[in-house]
Structure 1
Amino acid sequence: MRPYILAETNWKQIQETRFDLAILPWGATEAHNYHMPYATDVIEADTISAEAARLAWEQGAKVIVLPTIPFGVNTGQTDILLDINMHPSTQLAVLNDIVEVLNRQGIHKLLILNSHGGNDFRTMLRELGVRYPNMLLSSCSWFQTLDKSKYFDEPKGDHADEMETSLLLHLRPDLVTPLDEAGDGIAKKWKVQGFREGWAWAERKWSQVTEDTGIGNPKKATAEKGKRYFEDVTQKISGLLVELAAADLNNLYE
């Protein structure tokens, strides 16, 4: 039983603990090339949040990890079989209910640990911040915390690529098929220059961009690379959890 994982705690234990920070892992259910499971983002959210919370707990931070939300924004993948889309407006409604509970029960800090590139919680947290002005509402996308080029040979992918494949080879190798069965993750680029350079944005239509649903070549992935990356990601995020748990809501700026 891990006391910082809500799904594993019980009513007696909860009553004896004061929590300073709630962590909400948020994933997605979607295809990840030919070789990885639909639950890839959920597995990553579960394991990264749990390990970061463990490291923070051992440093004295009173954190609690809520159950992972398994569905994310997949509006660009409506024709990919069983990619389950949750609209941003639905995410806002779910978040509102969770924040309402935390606020009422005296847990005034929430971190969303995001595990899916299609999720973007910033505008939602702005709106909820007006509704709940005494809450510190924040988000972190774990895949943006480190420089991937220091860990992987092909760091430019962003879906079922070398990084994600390496992570799953470390975390759940039983769910990864042999890499010679994986697609190459070749992705078409925008013809519109502003979109291609990244200073303008439009949503990608997934099935027009990639044939195998992957973006980034996974073929050089290894469990060893995944282990090193996982350890460094969780170590860095644990530092954020410690700081947030200790933060004085009336004295956040210097």
Structure 2
Amino acid sequence: MIRPYILEETNWKHLKDAEVDLVILPWGATEAHNYHLPYGTDNFEGKAIAEESARIAWEAGAKVMVLPGIPFGVNTGQADIFLDINLNPSTQAAILKDILQVLHRQGVKKFMILNSHGGNNWKSIMRELGLQYPELFLCVTHWFKAMDKTEYFENKGDHADEMETSLVMHLRPELVLPKEEWGVGTEKRNKIKAFTEDWAWTERPWSKISEDTGVGNPKASSSEKGERFFKAVCEKMAKLMVELAKADVNELYE
């Protein structure tokens, strides 16, 4: 069945007279995820969350449209990890500018990046492009920050951890290696305390901070946990999509 809110599935017959209130662009990455998860983990997660959230929003009356996702992200800290594909932030900005130029020319007023990779940092890019396209409302969402993960998972982490492993076990179980192949995701911490206190920053060189490229122990993962988390994230994201689609962006503050 054609889903009219998914651009790569829909058609000109539907779109020639259509109105779209919110355009959503999933943006992921292609990178190693511990030993056991696929390189496309961020893309599978972002695509599934974007599409399911849009379905819920569409059925609630929101005129949303999900664009085909961008499968490459910023992986500058993983240059020595085989086939981790990097897009520099300047490249991301150029791609995004071209997309926004099309949307602006065609009268779209609201745009969301559904970010699916922690290495993608959008604030500076969106600030600059916002000046160039002041008629476009721009925003970024990070689905992996939407929920309190301690309510769903036992172990902390931020890469191929219990949360991501559970999600992929739910979404694409055929791509997850058997549990005996999983690394433990131990992270080596910076010796300089300031960089672990979240007020000073330096990029993590991935091959130095993790032997298996994971950060967070995935051993307690399950598809059931992944399904529960997926549903909660999509419901919350869909609510935002509905609110944005219906909102008067000139009257957002009180």
- Indicate the TM-score class for this superposition, using the shorter chain for normalisation: over 0.9
Aligned to 2:90: 89
Moved more, 73-82 or 174-183: 174-183
Equivalent-residue separation in structure 1 for 2:212 and 2:193 (angstroms): 25
Aligned to 1:178: 178
Percent identity, aligned pairs only?
60
Equivalent-residue separation in structure 2 for 1:107 and 1:19 (angstroms): 7
Instruction: Report the Cα offset of residue 249 of structure 1.
Output: 2.3
Equivalent-residue separation in structure 1 for 2:105 and 2:148 (angstroms): 38
Cα RMSD, aligned residues only:
0.6
Listed as ranges, the gaps of 5+ residues in structure 2 are none
Look up the SS of the partner of 1:158 in the other structure: strand
Aligned to 1:216: 216
> Does the 8 A contact of 1:180 with 1:219 survive in 2?
no
Instruction: Report the Cα offset of residue 45 of structure 1.
Output: 0.7
1:47-66, aligned counterparts within 5 Å? Answer: 47-66=48-67
What letter corresponds to residue 251 of structure 1 in structure 2?
Answer: E
Aligned to 1:248: 248
Aligned to 1:163: 163
Equivalent-residue separation in structure 1 for 2:209 and 2:177 (angstroms): 23
Equivalent-residue separation in structure 2 for 1:239 and 1:21 (angstroms): 13
1:115-148: CA deviation from partner (whole Å, max 9, x where unpaired): 0000011111100010011110000010000000
Equivalent-residue separation in structure 2 for 1:3 and 1:214 (angstroms): 37
Equivalent-residue separation in structure 1 for 2:242 and 2:192 (angstroms): 43
Listed as ranges, the gaps of 5+ residues in structure 1 are none
The answer to whether residue 123 in structure 2 is matched with residue 122 in structure 1 is yes
Look up the SS of the partner of 2:250 in the other structure: coil
What letter corresponds to residue 172 of structure 1 in structure 2?
Answer: R
Equivalent-residue separation in structure 2 for 1:95 and 1:227 (angstroms): 31
Instruction: Report the Cα offset of residue 180 of structure 1.
Output: 1.5
Instruction: Report the Cα offset of residue 80 of structure 1.
Output: 0.2
Aligned to 1:203: 203
1:39-73: CA deviation from partner (whole Å, max 9, x where unpaired): 00000011000000000000000000000000000
Instruction: Report the Cα offset of residue 197 of structure 1.
Output: 1.2
Equivalent-residue separation in structure 2 for 1:4 and 1:184 (angstroms): 39
Aligned to 2:24: 23
Give the TM-score of the pair, scaled to structure 2. 0.99
Equivalent-residue separation in structure 1 for 2:190 and 2:248 (angstroms): 45
Instruction: Report the Cα offset of residue 250 of structure 1.
Output: 2.0
Equivalent-residue separation in structure 2 for 1:160 and 1:115 (angstroms): 13
